[in-house]
Amino acid sequence: MPANVVVIGSLNMDLVTRAPRLPNGGETLIGHSFATVSGGKGANQAVAAARLGAQVAMVGCVGNDAYGVQLRDALLAEGIDCQAVTTVEDSSGVALIVVDDNSQNAIVIVAGANGAMTPAVIDRFDAVLQAADVIICQLEIPDATVGYALKRGRELGKIMILNPAPASRPLPADWYSSIDYLIPNESEAAALSGLPVDSLAAAERAASHLIAMGAGKVIITLGAQGSLFANGTGFEHCQAPTVKAVDTTAAGDTFVGGFAAALASGKAESEAIRFGQVAAALSVTRAGAQPSIPVLSDVQGFKSA
């Protein structure tokens, strides 16, 4: 069956240390544990969409190392089409992650093979894009490729989602008209808009700014506070279910993948947002990136505390 959700983005091996707290500069801490876990924002979103009901294809690059084999195998095990996951002469992307006892994390990524995602790769797998209903991009591959993919998806008339993560700067102005759903978190919304996002009212101002830039609709994820949806005519604040957080890694990815899967299955926007939020809430109750992502029956069976 052709994929109805296509994810264009990164695959990383996450090297995860749990420690009592995040270290200060120059400090050595004694950690509790270490694990290698399949991750990368693109791959996590692909796994989320697949576990939550979509037919998914991934467009990305891995290195010709052991991590590359594991990262591809992890997607294949989810039934994700990996014909457009290319192995290149480089190390696979890695993310060095520290998670503290309050479930906060700090992450450093090294792009490795993700840097080989050029516009030519998008051209090579144009047929994969053509088969999609929904296409998702993030910012862990070169900007030029993200911009190219957004424009191609727009030409093809696909529903285009950009999760601008990680973001520390405004997006190129000419990207906005190719984005149907822009899904930043609070700090990304602040970086993109140049406005503080420290309250619901501030999030509304930032979302309005991003819509004025040309984005179709904006969903700002607000962590435990849920999300703010803006469509240019109004706002909807969707409360998050209350859960006990263990590890917030990939919560945003789970929201994006879940939202995309729900949208591709024909759910209305507000229902898709609620679905994504329940999936993300469940993911924070479990450790790791891909291992934390729930399956459809978990979300359907979820009862708020």
* Closer of 81 and 140 to ligand RIB (Cβ): 140
Binding mask 230-249 for ligand RIB (x = CB under 6 A): -------------------x
State yes or no: residue 136 binds ligand RIB (CB under 6 A): no
* Closer of 152 and 255 to ligand RIB (Cβ): 255
State yes or no: residue 61 binds ligand RIB (CB under 6 A): no
Question: Radius of gyration over alpha carbons of the chain, in Å?
Answer: 18
Distance (Å, whole) CA 12 – CA 205: 34
Binding site feature residues for K(+):
247, 249, 283, 286, 288, 292
Residue in 6, 253, 281, 292 binding ligand RIB, rule: CB under 6 A = 253
Distance (Å, whole) CA 287 – CA 158: 33
Residue in 39, 68, 153, 257 binding ligand RIB, rule: CB under 6 A = 39
Distance (Å, whole) CA 38 – CA 82: 15
State yes or no: residue 86 binds ligand RIB (CB under 6 A): no
Q: Which amino acid is at 1?
A: M
Residue in 12, 92, 248, 254 binding ligand RIB, rule: CB under 6 A = 12
Helices within the chain (DSSP H only): 41-51, 66-76, 119-124, 126-131, 143-156, 186-193, 200-212, 251-264, 269-283, 296-300
* Closer of 100 and 253 to ligand RIB (Cβ): 253
Q: How far is the CB of 110 from ligand RIB (least distance, A)?
A: 10
Q: Which residue is nearest to ligand RIB (CB)?
A: 39
Distance (Å, whole) CA 267 – CA 139: 26
Strand order of the β-sheet with 181-182 is: 81-88, 56-63, 5-8, 134-137, 159-162, 181-182, 217-221, 227-230, 235-238
Whose CA is closest to 214, among 238, 241, 232?
Answer: 232
Residue in 95, 116, 167, 202 binding ligand RIB, rule: CB under 6 A = 95
Binding residues for ligand RIB, rule: CB under 6 A, are 12, 14, 39-41, 44, 95, 107, 109, 140, 249-250, 252-253, 289
Residues carrying an active site annotation: 253
